[in-house]
Structure 1
Amino acid sequence: MKEILDFLRDLEKNNNRKWFSTNKERYQEVLKKWNALCESLITEIGRFDKDIAPLTIKDCTYRIYRDTRFSKDKSPYKTHFGVFLAKGGKKSMHAGYYFHIGAGNSSEYPHAHMLASGNYCYDNKAIKILHEDISDEWETFSTSILGKVNSLFSPDMEGALKRVPREYDPNAPYADWMRMKSFCLTAETDDNFLLEENLAQRVAELFKTTKPFIDYINRAVDYVKKEMEG
């Protein structure tokens, strides 16, 4: 992982096409290392989540080239690598497991190293179902689902509504979950974590604790998909 981190940090300092072209072979080498890690993650996570086992690298990884058409930041390359392992692939709209290595110069995405379980984009019908289910089943959700999650993870409130919808009690223990539109648990890591031996196994162990959460979210996603297809 050190080679990947060194490359990303050098790229951040030299985010231009000339430097990237000169270092294209170096990029190809670190990409091979990243893809090898992703293959290992597919294998390790596939041991406890059968929906992940059939995935390929193309199903769950992303290009390093940025789409700058609608962005004020015109730097041409991403300074992070990410992999999203979800049922049906990264575009399926299902909740899944996201592992991200950034340039690491701050604690904010996309620079931070992080793990995330969930997704940031759901159909509005799925969001409505999740709000209803979580509020109705809060005791089960908080103990049997969230209670199994490793303490490194916490709910990501990025993009949440400022106020609890009026149909829910703002003083209820589940109130913050009613503000959510993206249901995701995140955990930040550091360089020391990335340099651990058997990194894929360690990441998979942490993600395993979030599988009940993933299954709970995808129950709503699958219901909506089936309804739309029917």
Structure 2
Amino acid sequence: FKTEFMKYFSKDYLAFFKELAANNHKEWFDLNRKRYETVVREPFKIFISDLINEVSKLDEEVQIEAKDAIFRINRDIRFSKDKTPYKINNSAIISKMGRKDKSYPGLYIELSPEHLAIFGGIYMADTQQIQKIRLHILKYPDQFRKIITNKDFVNKYGEIRGTKNKRIPKEFRLAAEEQALIMNKQWYYQAFLSPKIITGNDLMEKILEYHIQALPFQKFLINALQN
């Protein structure tokens, strides 16, 4: 990796989202659209392009462009009680598939005035994917346990999270007594860091530091899905 990374975001980047939170409607956004494009959209696009470049050095399968990774600022309000039209953060997923397949394990980041958030794992698995991951845990229990109890991983992310099934197929019940995570239907990890990092010089370095510690778990999930 580079020994020094650039500063990507000015203080106005976070200020924009703070003001948007208080004025979350189209009229305000239209009045501030040029500002959004200059201090938010373009710097975030440059940052994500550079982050993809760094992540691809660790995983050559990641060959996407920034536009494939970045989520829109517009909220999908069709099924939501909250009808505010805009997200008050920037987010992107960096993986082989990018945002076209959010179930594929990768590096998900969210930048907001509240936090720098780093997520990974699998959050939106379908029935077949859940079965594949459970079978992989069943087949490699020691490897799985070693990865999730690794000191550096635990220091960064704590534990593997996710909702569980109350009942699971018979072939997993005995293993579930030893490894409760086999009952999960999601397997994800998360870290919330200070938003001050976003406007500092070590944003890229910090995200990569966290991402590197998550790679063994990410690779375990990818191997499971490819079986």
2:55 maps to amino acid: I
SS in 1 for 2:100: coil
Alignment correspondent of 1:37: 47
Matched residue, 2:179: 174
Residue 137 of structure 1 corresponds to 140
Shift of the alpha carbon at 1:152?
1.6
Q: Partner of 1:185: helix, strand, or coil?
A: strand
Structure 1 residues 96 and 13: alpha-carbon distance in aligned structure 2, compared to 1, 3 A threshold: same
More deviation, 204-213/6-15 = 204-213
Looking at structure 2, the residues matched to 217 and 171 of structure 1 have their Cα atoms a distance apart, in angstroms, of 18
Q: Indicate the RMSD between aligned Cα atoms, in angstroms.
A: 2.1
TM-score by length of 2: 0.85
Structure ranking higher on relative contact order (CA contacts 8 Å, 6+ apart): 2
1:18 aligns with 2:27: yes
Amino acid in structure 1 at the alignment position of 2:195: D
* Contact map agreement 1:119 1:182 (CA 8 A) in 2: yes
Correspondent of 2:58 among 18, 43, 48: 48
Q: Which runs of 5+ in 1 are unaligned?
A: 105-111, 224-230
User: What's the CA shift for 1:14?
Assistant: 0.5
Check whether the contact 2:138–2:175 (CA below 8 A) recurs between aligned residues.
Answer: no
For the structure 1 residues 73 and 151, does the alpha-carbon distance in structure 2 shift closer, same or farther, using more than 3 Å as the test? same
Deviations 1:159-202 (A, max 9, x none): x1263636324873420x12321221111111233233131122
* Greater than 4 Å deviation, 4+ residue runs: none
1:189 is the counterpart of 2:199:
no
Of 193, 206, 212 in structure 2, the residue corresponding to residue 208 of structure 1 is: 212
Q: Give the drift of 1:102.
A: 2.5
Percent identical residues: 24
Q: Distance in 2 between matches of 1:27 and 1:179?
A: 43
Gaps of 5+ in 2: 1-8
Q: Which has the higher helix share?
A: 2
CA contact (8 A) 1:150 1:209 kept: no
Q: Residues 162 and 179 of structure 1 are in contact (CA less than 8 Å); yes or no, is this contact kept in structure 2?
A: yes
Once the two structures are superposed, the pairs formed by residues 109-128 of structure 1 within 5 Å of their partners are 112-128=115-131
Provide Cα deviations, 1:20-66, integer angstroms capped at 9, x if missing partner. 011001110111111111111111111111122x2101110011111
| Closer, same or farther: CA 5–115 of 1 in aligned 2, 3 Å | same
